[in-house]
Amino acid sequence: MKQLAILGCTGSIGRQTLQVIDSIPNTIKPVAMAAGNNKLLFLEQVKKYKPQLVSLHHEEDARWLQQQLDGHQKVDIYYGSEGLLAVATFPDADTVLTAISGAVGMQPTVAAIKAGKTIALANKETLVAAGELVMLLAREYGVHIMPVDSEHSAIWQCLHGENSHNVARLLLTASGGPFRNWSNEQMTAITPEMALNHPNWQMGAKITIDSATLMNKGLEVIEARWLFNINYDSIDVVIHPQSIIHSMVEFNDGSVLAQMGVPDMRLPIQYALFYPQRMAGKVTRLQWPIGELTFTEPDFERFPSLNLAFQAGRVGKTMPAVLNAANEMAVHAFLTGRLEFKAIPKLVAKVMEGHSPFQYNTLEEIMETDRWARRRAEELIR
């Protein structure tokens, strides 16, 4: 039985991961689990899966959990950044699913790599901000990083058994979000409620807003560059509203391989956790005939966030970390009513303009850059 540590148990990916585990019993045991602020749901999860070690974000929530479990269940309880590191490096775990949203996932992911854990990566910010360092460490420690994002999982599956030297380009598909057909004028009135209403996927708030601005696809472009060791000129984005084809690989001979499936994150989660096996599970199947599949080019003018990500990726060094941190701040400001939707990429661009990128060598340098970008973004928001 695989021993799994989960970072982000109560988030969208974490909950769906537990659904996958439930659907294929006696195969995976969650032995260490970390959550953020949803202590009530986490209590239910801890009681059900009986991990050996758990962590919550706040100390008072950890104390509350201890009181709830006292005398009923033996478990080591941590909190904060120390707790994330404890879960990520838990000795009995052989695989770590990193499903925390945001730059906070970088340190525990790096710690898990140094502890020799297999990584099921759903925290895109880790590779966006520190991809060069993370992939170097993965090679150094002989760690396999398995992508959980549907797009990168699709590319991973299409590349299976292929020679990477034969790859001509990667084609990342994007639904286009809820505003793909809106004019510039219409987009001035977008509210958080509108932006959180994604047409195809059920996801957390931050990634849903990123999907609406197309920043999510930009972050995935940077991820793909590191995961598959390919340059940015060989990565394209295609708008595919139906979200049936999750991404494609074009080879030197002109052949294109595509991975298809229903828009359900449980499928890439399951593929990563059970690789190289393909388990039956309980994910909904495509119903044939599947109807029309359409593809268009992204509109960089209406969705400048995608272009900003390409720019940051090509500049490299610390610029992607600045892009990521500024975007996190902008999205939070939009969700809390401090920033308009169309101001999100404008804020990110301004923070990027004020940064002098440098070649980093340590995670601490990336974290300091991240802190600088957040301070600068907050100044601009105010």
Q: How far apart are CA 3 and CA 29, in angstroms?
A: 5
**Which runs of consecutive H residues, i.e. helices, occur in the chain?**
12-23, 39-49, 59-69, 80-88, 106-114, 124-140, 150-159, 192-195, 205-213, 215-227, 266-274, 304-315, 319-335, 343-353, 363-381
Look up residue 341 and give its two tokens.
Answer: 């939707």
pLDDT of residue 101: 82
pLDDT at 125: 87
Instruction: Kindly tell me if the per-residue pLDDT of 119 is higher than 80.
Output: yes
CA distance 261 to 88: 31
State pLDDT tens for residues 324-337. Answer: 999 999 999 999 99
pLDDT at position 282, please? 87
Same topology for domains 2-147 and 152-263+290-381, yes or no? no
Q: In what helix (H) or strand (E) does residue 288 lie, and over which residues does it extend? A: none
The tokens describing 107, both together, are 């340190």
Per DSSP, the three-state class of 74 is coil
* Dist CA 271 CA 138 (whole Å): 20
Q: Per-domain residue ranges for the chain?
A: 2-147, 152-263+290-381
Tokens of residue 346, six digits = 């404008």
Residues 185, 349, 314, 242, Cα dihedral to 10°: -30
The arithmetic mean of pLDDT across residues 297-311, rounded, is 96
Q: In this structure, which CATH number among 3.40.50.1240, 3.40.50.720, 1.20.1250.20, 3.60.15.10 belongs to the domain 2-147?
A: 3.40.50.720
What pLDDT, on the 0 to 100 scale, is given for residue 202? Answer: 65
Question: Which amino acid makes up residue 277?
Answer: Q
CA-CA distance, 77 to 63, in Å (whole number)?
8
pLDDT of residue 303: 95
Please give the C-alpha separations between residue 17 and each of 50, 78, 154, 220, in angstroms, as whole numbers.
16, 22, 18, 21
In angstroms and rounded to an integer, the radius of gyration of the C-alpha atoms of the chain is 20
CATH of domain 152-263+290-381: 1.10.1740.10
What pLDDT does 368 receive? Answer: 97
DSSP assignment string, 114-151: HTT-EEEE--HHHHHHHHHHHHHHHHHTTPPEEE-SHH
pLDDT value of position 267: 96
Strand partners, 4: 30, 95
pLDDT of residue 132: 96
The residue-averaged pLDDT of 334-357 equals 97
- Measure the CA–CA gap between 246 and 40, rounded to whole angstroms: 34
For residue 102, what pLDDT band results from cuts at 50, 70 and 90?
confident
Tell me the pTM. Answer: 0.94
Rounded CA-CA distance 160/153 in Å is: 11
> Percent of the chain, pLDDT > 70?
99
Task: Please name the helix (run of DSSP H) or strand (run of DSSP E) that holds residue 327, with its range, or none.
Answer: helix 319-335
Amino acid letter, 237? V
Bridge-based pairing of strands 256-260 and 245-251 is antiparallel
Q: Which residues contact 260 (CB under 8 A, 6 or more apart)?
A: 244, 245, 246, 286
Given a cut of 80, whether residue 144 has pLDDT beyond it is: yes
Instruction: Indicate the residue type of 337.
Output: G
- What pLDDT is attached to residue 149? 93
**Enclosing H/E stretch for 200:** none
* pLDDT of 366 over the 80 cut: yes
Phi, psi of 73 (to 5 degrees): -155, 130
C-alpha closest to that of 223 among 242, 212, 210: 210
Tell me: the pLDDT tens digits for 196-226?
987 766 677 888 899 999 999 999 999 999 9
Contacts of 328 (CB under 8 A, 6+ apart): 102, 103, 125, 206, 374
Cβ atoms of 222 and 309 within 8 Å: the answer is yes
**Residue range 177-198, pLDDT digits in tens:** 889 999 988 999 899 999 998 7
Axis-axis angle for helices 124-140, 363-381 (nearest 10): 170
